Amino acid sequence: MAPTHVLRCCQRGLAWIPVIFIALVVCWSYYAYVVELCIFTIPSIGEQIVYLIFFHLSFVMFVWSYWKTIFTKPANPSKEFCLPKAEKERYEKEERPESQQEILWRAASSLPLYTRTGAGAIRYCDRCQVIKPDRCHHCSACDMCVLKMDHHCPWVNNCVGFSNYKFFILFLAYSLVYCLFIAATVLQYFIKFWTNELTDTPAKFHVLFLFFVAAMFCISILSLFSYHLWLVGKNRSTIEAFRAPVFRTGSDKNGFSLGFRKNIAQVFGDQKKYWLLPVFTSQGDGLTFPTRLVNTDVEQATVTLQSEPSKSAADITVSPLSESQNRLLSNEQHANNIGDHLANDTLKSAESETITISMESES
C-alpha cells in the first residue's frame, strides 16, 4: 500500500485539473476571439479596435480576480484560540465529554464567542486542536480551519472564506461580463456562418464553438452569481444558508445580518472606489463579527453567557463588544426600556382605576 504522503500528493495534483481546464478554455477563447474573429473575420478596422479594447478590459479583470481567488491563502484562527499546553494535555486525557466541555468553557472565557454547537457546547476542532471562532469551519479538502468559511470550490482549488470571498464574488461578476460580451459580439457572425452568408474558413469552427461555450458558461455563472449576491445581502455564508448558526438563544439564520448596506460593506468595505477592484477591503479580522442577538450588561459593557446546567461556574464573561455591536445592542435596550416604562404606566393606571371603582361601590 502506498504511503499516506504519496496519496496526499496525488490528491493535491488531481485537484488542479479543474483549474487547468478553465485556464485552457480561457486561453482558447482569447485566441478564438482576438485572432479568428477580430483579425480574420471582422472586416471593419474600427469595429475590431472597439471590440478588442472592451474585450481586453473584461479579460484583464476576469483573470486578475480569478488569480486572486486561487492564490489567496485562507485565513486561519489565531494562536489565542488554541488551548494552553496544560489545558490541552488535560483535554486529551479526559474521557468524559462533560469534563472536556468544562475545560473548553474555561479556555473560552476570554474569547469573543457567541455561537455554539447544536447542543449548546463550545465549538472545538479536534483535527486542528483550536476553539473555532464564530463562522469558522474545518475544511476537509484543505485540512484546516478557515475563517468565515463559505465553501471549498474545486474550480479555484481553494477554500472560499474571509480572506478571498470578495475576490470570488468579483471573479463571478467579471467572468459573467466576459462571457456576455463574447456572446453578444459573436452572435451576428455566428448567424452569418450558420446561414452560410460568410464563406467557410478555419475561423468558422472557432466562432461557432465560441458562441456556444460563452452562452453555456453565462447561464451557469449567472445562477451562481445571483445566489451569492443574495447571500451577501443577507450576510450569510453558503454553510449558514443550509445550517443556521446557533447562538445562546437558539439558532437564527439572520443572526449576523446588520441590514443590507452594512452587510454589503462587511464584504466590500467602506470605500466604494475599491469595490470593483480585486484588492482586499473587507471589514474586520475574520475572528469576530457584529451580531444582533447578544444580550449585554449595561454597567460592565460585557457579554454574559449562560453556562451549561452541568457546569459549576456561574456566568462566563467575554471580551467587550465592538462599536457596531454596542450600537446595535444599545438601540435594542432603549426599545426594551421604553417597553418597560409603558408597562409600568399601564399597571399604575389599572391600579388607580381599581381603587376608584372600589371607593364608588363603598359609597
HSE (side-chain half, CA atoms, 13 Å) at 237: 24
DSSP 103-158: HHHHHGGGS---EE-TTS---EETTTTEEPPTT-EEETTTTEEETT--EEETTTTE
Q: Residue 168: enclosing H or E segment and its boundaries?
A: helix 165-194
* pLDDT of 181 above 60: yes
pLDDT per residue as tens digits for the range 303-323: 333 333 333 333 433 344 444
Return the HEC string of 176-230.
HHHHHHHHHHHHHHHHHHHCCCCCCCHHHHHHHHHHHHHHHHHHHHHHHHHHHHH
Instruction: In whole angstroms, give the CA distance from residue 32 to residue 40.
Output: 10
Q: What is the pLDDT of residue 268?
A: 97
Q: What is the pLDDT of residue 294?
A: 52
**Arithmetic mean of pLDDT, 82-99:** 91
* pLDDT of 346 above 80: no
Place of cell 489565542: 80
DSSP 10-59: HHHHHTTHHHHHHHHHHHHHHHIIIIIIIITT---HHHHHHHHHHHHHHH
pLDDT per residue as tens digits for the range 192-233: 888 888 777 888 889 999 999 999 999 999 999 999 999 999
pLDDT per residue as tens digits for the range 252-298: 999 999 999 999 999 999 999 999 999 999 999 999 999 875 544 33
Grid cell of 353 as nine digits: 382605576
Q: What is the pLDDT of residue 9?
A: 86
The closest alpha carbon to 329, from 240, 265, 258, 232, belongs to 258
Residue of higher predicted confidence among 96 and 314:
96
- Residues in a beta bridge with 250: 247
Amino acid at 311: K
Q: What is the pLDDT of residue 199?
A: 76
Q: What is the pLDDT of residue 2?
A: 54
Instruction: In whole angstroms, give the CA distance from residue 222 to residue 178.
Output: 12
Whether the Cβ atoms of residue 179 and residue 29 lie closer than 8 Å to each other? no
What distances in angstroms separate CA 307 from CA 2, 99, 195, 313, 316, one per listed residue?
A: 48, 14, 74, 7, 7
Grid cell of 122 as nine digits: 463550545
* pLDDT of 324 above 90: no
Instruction: In whole angstroms, give the CA distance from residue 324 to residue 116.
Output: 21
Whether the Cβ atoms of residue 139 and residue 128 lie closer than 8 Å to each other? no
Give the residue numbers marked as catalytic.
153
Grid cell of 9 as nine digits: 500528493
Q: What is the pLDDT of residue 195?
A: 85
Residues 6+ apart with CB under 8 A from 25: 213
**Arithmetic mean of pLDDT, 175-181:** 97
